[in-house]
Amino acid sequence: MKTTLLIILLSVAFNFAFGQGTVTLSGTANHQEVDHIFIVTQPLFSGQETEKLLTDYKQNNQFRGTFKLSKPQFLYFMILSRKWLIYVTPGDTIKFTIDGAGFDAKIKFFGNHAANYQVFAMVTDFTGGPQIARRYTVNKEFRDNRDSLLKYKLKLDEWYSDKTKQLGALLSLYPISKTLSHIAQNKIGYYYINFLYSAISDMVIDSIPQDYLNEMKKFKFNDDRLLAANEYKSALSVRYASLKESEDKVNLQRVEKKIRKELSGKTKDYAIASLIGNASERKIAIDDAALLSLIKSAYIEVKDPNYLRYINESDLKYRLLNKPLTKKVLDSTFLTNYSSGKKQSLREVLAGYQGKAVYIDLWASWCGGCRLDIAASVDAKKWMMENGVAVVYFSQDKDRMAWKQASINDKIENDQYLIEGEYKSELSKFMMIESIPRYLLIDKNHFVKSIFAPRPVESDLGQLKSLINEMHKSAIGK
């Protein structure tokens, strides 16, 4: 009885302390384009959907909205073309002002715990806003030039030093807890490291200047507190779970062994889950037996329920591979042929490519990224066609005139189809499409080889060739 009473009293105290989980945000924006705000969760793993906790529209030049929260956590505060990371505690009542709009908008927070909002909003300016590090085009010629790599590092060093000083000044104005200060400092540090890693992720270690590597060794990957920082998780994934390799097939066991040797705790579990997620997408040839063994051991070893859920999702995606498209997808996905205007089922469309592997580009006239990939795909498309792979375009457009005009402008009228239902089509649901561009690769028997095939651009061409070569080898004799 006493125990039950104590639990009830603690529960009441917790709910009182945190305002029963209710967060209240109110504020103003001086630009007419800023007419609504969103609060969304951070994705745990790359490519995962976010959960929208609040959508609030401006009324009488004022915002005011509430949402429920069960525990303190990082969330994104979003307007059109801009987002800021904030650290939110259940029970917070915060006011804000937004100056300007879009990428250059600035935000200020007021109220209890406002420092937790302001510091991380400013850090977002450093790592994803107006003060972001300069991006370079990192290609083979760039990586092969030692001086280019070292100049790239020097520029990043300057950015890192400058932002570290700015953060120090910011923390003196807005004091936050030691744990949050540690996360803020390391968000900048691991953003810097992620940029360094991304330039050399597929290079042979002996070809990388030692001066370039020395700084990277100072940053370790065994601080579980930093799993709250996307920059740490991203650098961790690039360092330990990236599958960009020059060899024909990734040695998954070697990558796993490295993770187990160098990492521990939840950081190790996160890296294992990321590795499974990356491998399950089959963007590059892998050892299927090694992946299944890794998935089996992860179900036993990994304890975090969110990591296990992601592993299970990745497992299900992987098991779609090396099988034909389902009857429902083939017979209930309908497309319009650009050349003839005829409506066809996916089964009928693929019958036109009988005995041939097919690379399907899912795009739309309104998708800037899609059209940039199409413009850059000349070499990849030529190589695929010379190696027995048909390149086919499935548009997700609603506007037929826009689809046709974009097809003409991008010179992709041939093998061009408009998919009915867009994201609601059976094919889109099968591929779990949430955004485009996306690419599907099926072999000559029309078995699915990858629902996340590499992009047809220079940076991914090596992966694409490796995957297609492996696909042709495995299809021999079938």
Does the structure show a pLDDT above 50 at 473? yes
* Better-predicted residue by pLDDT, 166 or 244: 166
Say how many residues make up the chain.
478
Does the structure show a pLDDT above 80 at 119? yes
The helix (run of H) or strand (run of E) holding residue 25 is strand 22-29
Options 3.30.420.40, 3.40.30.10, 1.10.760.10, 3.40.50.300; CATH of 327-475: 3.40.30.10
How far, in Å, CA of 148 to CA of 414, rounded?
41
How far, in Å, CA of 107 to CA of 25, rounded?
13
Q: What is the dihedral of CA 233, 238, 240, 241, to 10 degrees?
A: 90
Q: Where are the domains of the chain?
A: 17-128, 241-319, 327-475
Q: How confident is the model at residue 201 (pLDDT cuts 50, 70, 90)?
A: low
Over pLDDT 90: what percentage of the chain?
A: 56
- The reported pLDDT for the residue numbered 326 is 86
Options 3.30.70, 3.30.1490, 2.60.40, 3.30.1380; CATH of 17-128: 2.60.40
First and final C-alpha spacing in the chain: 70
List CB contacts of 158: < 8 A, sequence separation 6 or more.
none
pLDDT single digits (tens) 122-144: 999 888 766 665 555 555 565 56
> Per-residue pLDDT averaged across 23-33, rounded?
95
pLDDT single digits (tens) 46-93: 877 788 999 999 999 899 999 999 999 999 999 988 999 999 999 999
Provide the whole-model pTM: 0.69
User: Tell me, what DSSP letter sits at residue 103?
Assistant: G
Q: Within 10 A of 2 (CB to CB), how many other CB atoms are there?
A: 6
How far, in Å, CA of 278 to CA of 133, rounded?
26
- Cβ contact 166:126 at 8 Å: yes
Single-letter residue type at 283:
K
Token pair in block for residue 100: 């300007």
